[in-house]
Amino acid sequence: MVEVGFGGGQALAEFAATHPSWQCVGIELYQPGIGALTLQCEARGLDNVWFVEDNVRLVLPSWPAASVAFVAIYFPDPWPKARHHKRRLVQPSFVREIVRVLEPGGRLALATDWEHYAEQMLAVCDAAPALVNEAGAGCFSLPAAAPRPATRFEQRGLALGHDIRDLLYRKRVDNDNAGHTPPS
């Protein structure tokens, strides 16, 4: 399991605690978040969590193809100003890289509280031929379909009156589905 931009690490620590047989990797640039995750892992006795302090766009290309069962991207920086939209993480080239590292049947979960970014994520991921939107093309997932603990960024969005949008995708399976089953 890989969480991209884990922020304070709440979701990653919770996933690792509820999936102790999984190897969980967080990729993050924010040093205070890395410290927070480290403290949570120590407090909970988690030994299945690793982190990479780097830009995910530089890290994923070095990973083997079909090596990850589950990728989570929760509340990435929305870059709300139109002139900054090109800085958003969820772009076609990045989604192609995620598809490359996902194993057949692997899942991609995304969440945001920014409506325009949610629409962009939906359009970009629905356009990826190797991904299947589990809620149906053009549809957002119900939160229960992609269970995740609430994060600080989600709580902030809710306090601002933003709706939370979840997306859940599965990588198409050709003829084999080797490896462990991604979480349901």
Which residue type occupies 70? F
Cβ atoms within 10 Å, residue 159: 9
Q: Out of 77, 126, 166, 176, which one is annotated catalytic?
A: 77
Residue with tokens 């190897």: 23
Contacts 24+ apart (CB under 8 A), 42-48: 44/13, 44/17, 46/13, 46/16, 46/17, 48/16, 48/19, 48/20, 48/21, 48/22, 48/23, 48/24
Q: Report phi then psi at 96, rounded to 5.
A: -60, -40
Q: Which residues contact 170 (CB under 8 A, 6 or more apart)?
A: 105, 106, 107, 108, 131, 132, 134, 182
77 has catalytic annotation: yes
Catalytic residue numbers read 77
